[in-house]
Every structure is written in C-alpha cells, then in structure tokens.
A = this chain, B = another copy of it.
C-alpha cells in the first residue's frame, strides 16, 4: 500500500483570535500525504480532543501552522517497529486527519506519541479524556496540589467540564463535601446526579451568599478552572492552610494579553488564611503518566467514575466544536469523531 495518492485534511490557524474564536480564524486545507521514510508511521485520526487550553495556547501558534491538539488515531502504515500498522496511538498531532510521525515529540513543549490498548470495556475516545490529559489533570492536579482529606469541603469551578466533573467524583471518593459551580441548570442537574453535594449557578446565584450557606465552616480545597472574580470570592471563604489548584483560567482566555481582566485582589486572603495556590500543566507529571491512567481506568471499570462526553461528528466541525465548548455548550469532555 502506498500513500502517495491519499490526501489529509487539516485546519490551519489563519487569523489571531480576537475575543471569542470564529470559524473564519481557521482554514480547512487538503494536502497530499508524503511517502513514509524509514522510522516513520502514518496515523489516521479517529477522535480529536477539544480543550480550553487550545484557546490560551493559540498565542504560541504562528499563522499558517496547524492548530494544536491531541487525537486518538489508528496506524495505517508503518516503517517503525515500535508503532506497528493496526495499532492505536495517542498523539499531539494537531487538527489533522492524518499525521506522519517518527515516534518522537515534534517539539519540547509536547509529549511523544504512545500506543494505547483497545479494551472492550473502554471507548477509545476516553484516552483523550478521563484516560488522558484531562483525567490526569484531575487525578494529579487535585490529589497532589489540593491534598484533600476526608470530611473537607471542596469547591470546583467549571465543574461540568471534563476536568471539573472528574475532580468532583474523586473528591466524593475521598470523602469530601463537594460544592460545584457551573453555568446552567441542566449541567447542575447532571452534577447532582453524580453525587455532588451542593451546586451553584454562577450566572444566576449570588456566589457569596450561596457559599456562606453551603460552606458555613469554610472551604478547604478549591480546584479552579476559571479564574477571575468568581475565584476571588471563593478564595475569600477559605480556611486557614487552604489549598488551591489552578488548572485553568477560562474566564480570561478570550481576552487579549495586553488587556487582561481585573478582579478583587487575592493577596489579603492568601496571607490571612495562609493559603497555598499552585498552578499546573499536567505534563509536569509525565513521569507518572501511567499511574493516573491506570487508577482512572480502574475507577471507570468499577463504576465509580462516570465520564460524560459531548461528541460531535465530522472533522470539518472542529472549529464549531471548539467554539461551542468555549461558550460552555459541552457536558464533560468535548470530542470530534472523524
């Protein structure tokens, strides 16, 4: 089989985002797939990941380059014995239907592609979510930085997202009282169905008075996906030695770097409650990657961890899916199926 007549589709980044990304910021292009060199393999995308970090990292992508992102792919041709034809691979190949890799990371900011085993009990798409970057963000970010103890009160913002909903379920398993914040009633109903103890609609409720009601003895851990004023209010309700893991800052991703939003300053509550606030990028735990995946897979198989996905069909819908997710239109993990 030769690939020299096949074409790949990919989305390139053609205009810097101004506020909320628009479909016209991307361009769908086709290109002929080159022949493989020794040591290379050709991967064909099955599922592509849609994540908030893509908005924030767009400033690092030059115009004309392929948009960044992870995918689950099948290897359809190989000249690399470590990546045989027919096997499944997880790679940061970007928004493309086909990718030729030599098995190493394209650059130092990325991790190298790795094989994934097909398991009858587990959808391949989960390797982009609960069994991938998302799940490891929840597992390591929450356990290592929030250090939750049984009986403690945990607040999660962006709680209906892929990471937030996962964190809340780990917190429940650890015996914590979970307060979840999200932006509409349908999401809140879902979070209640996952067993979360108290839900707050940040668009309708007064967060300050809700927190006073929900956490009369204060908050011990805060898993922050959103940043901004909501986080300032939450952090003012924290207990001494409270721990905050900062996973994202979605509320500001659509702002320009030169015109970032302002919010009530955090230093007073950080000092007087002796808080520790730690930001993380999940790649920090690359050397323990499998530990997170194995634990999350175990919880899924035991029925203790439920993973909801918002799956959109069709590679050409990548920009739509991305914009929808940034507008809060997703439940759990956003995925595009090719």
Query: CB within 8 Å of B: which residues of A?
Result: 56, 224, 226-228, 231, 246-249, 251-252, 260-281, 284
Give the complex CA separation of A276 and B145 in angstroms. 10
**Nearest-neighbor residue (CB-CB) of A280 within chain B:** B274
Copies in the complex: 2
CB distance A270 to B252 under 8 Å?
no
Q: Which 4 A-B pairs have the closest CB atoms?
A: A227-B267, A270-B279, A249-B267, A271-B279
Give the complex CA separation of A276 and B281 in angstroms. 12
Given contacts A262-B262, A263-B262, A277-B278, contact A252 B268 (CB under 8 A): yes
CB distance B248 to A271 under 8 Å?
yes
Given contacts A261-B264, A262-B264, contact A281 B271 (CB under 8 A): yes
CB distance A267 to B252 under 8 Å?
yes
**Nearest-neighbor residue (CB-CB) of A247 within chain B:** B271
Classify the secondary structure of A's interface with B: mixed
CB distance A265 to B267 under 8 Å?
no
In the assembled complex, how far is the CB of residue A183 from the closest CB belonging to chain B, in whole angstroms? 18
CB distance A279 to B284 under 8 Å?
no
| Residues of chain B within 8 A of A252, CB atoms compared | 265, 267-268
| Residues of chain B within 8 A of A273, CB atoms compared | 279
| Residues of chain B within 8 A of A268, CB atoms compared | 56, 227, 249, 252, 260
Give the complex CA separation of A261 and B232 in angstroms. 11
In the assembled complex, how far is the CB of residue A283 from the closest CB belonging to chain B, in whole angstroms? 9
| Residues of chain B within 8 A of A272, CB atoms compared | 56, 279, 281
| Residues of chain B within 8 A of A228, CB atoms compared | 265, 267
11 example contacts (A-B, Cβ-Cβ < 8 A) are as follows: A56-B271, A224-B267, A227-B266, A228-B265, A228-B267, A249-B265, A249-B271, A261-B265, A263-B265, A266-B266, A275-B278
CB distance B277 to A284 under 8 Å?
no
CB distance B271 to A280 under 8 Å?
yes
| Residues of chain B within 8 A of A226, CB atoms compared | 267
Residue picked from A246, A274, A284, most chain B C-beta under 10 Å: A246
Residue picked from A56, A226, A267, A268, most chain B C-beta under 10 Å: A267
| Residues of chain B within 8 A of A56, CB atoms compared | 268, 271-272
